[in-house]
């Protein structure tokens, strides 16, 4: 059984991705046959620092918002990782829409225990939060993921279902997404 961990990459989060580069490489080494890193939306031509250098990943090119929700579903990821650095920009500018976007497709999110994700994710109830709010650095990610994969793998699907229920309560549901998508079809 291969666990597919998705990461949405864009020019706004390249610094966050670079911060986790060593951890992503460690995942490649530790779980070469059982975990796939799936990168969505990355534009290598816009990445002057080669942020994903040394990381093995499955690549899915960027798509328009018109196709994004179907795309997110079709790539069959089990978990969406939202890598964030603890800084003012992320604390004030990051929204929890990735949680909702993943949740509508029953995909749970794993993120640092910081704003805004710790306002919508309840650790091991509807997603996964690593670290403590005052210290949710990258050093906590691998031990948390290792425990999840070794001891709590069955929770991923269950929390994806709970994330779906949560996303639906935000009126972010499949019917609304279809209406929006149909406007552009």
- The chain-wide mean pLDDT, for the chain, equals 87
Q: What is the secondary structure of 71-82 as a DSSP string?
A: HHHHTT-SEEE-
Between CA 98 and CA 42 the distance in angstroms is: 16
pLDDT of 184: 43
pLDDT at 148: 95
* 8, pLDDT greater than 90: yes
pLDDT tens-place string over residues 36-94: 999 999 999 999 999 999 999 999 998 888 888 888 888 999 999 999 887 766 666 66
Which of residues 37 and 185 earns the better pLDDT score?
Answer: 37
pTM comes to: 0.87
Pairwise pLDDT comparison (52 vs 10), residue with the higher score: 52
Distance of CA 62 to the CA centre of its chain: 15
Residue 170, Cβ density class (10 Å: 0-12 exposed, 13-18 middle, ≥19 buried): middle
What integer pLDDT is reported at residue 28 of this predicted model? 97
């Amino acid at each position: 059984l291969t666990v597919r961990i998705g990461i949405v990459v864009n020019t706004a989060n390249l610094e966050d991705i670079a911060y986790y580069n060593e951890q992503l490489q460690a995942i490649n080494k530790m779980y070469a046959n059982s975990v796939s890193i799936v990168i969505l939306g990355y534009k290598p031509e816009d990445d002057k620092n080669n942020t994903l250098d040394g990381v093995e990943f499955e690549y899915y090119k960027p798509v328009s918002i018109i196709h994004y929700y179907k795309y997110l579903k079709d790539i069959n990821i089990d978990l969406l990782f939202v890598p964030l650095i603890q800084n003012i920009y992320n604390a004030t500018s990051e929204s929890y829409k990735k949680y909702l976007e993943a949740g509508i497709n029953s995909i749970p999110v794993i993120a640092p225990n910081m704003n805004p994700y710790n306002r919508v994710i309840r650790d091991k109830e509807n997603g996964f939060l690593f670290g403590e709010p005052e210290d949710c650095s990258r050093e906590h990610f691998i031990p948390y993921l290792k425990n999840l994969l070794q001891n709590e793998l069955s929770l991923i699907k269950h929390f994806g279902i709970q994330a779906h229920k949560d996303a639906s309560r935000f009126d972010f549901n499949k019917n609304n997404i279809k209406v929006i998508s149909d406007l552009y079809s």
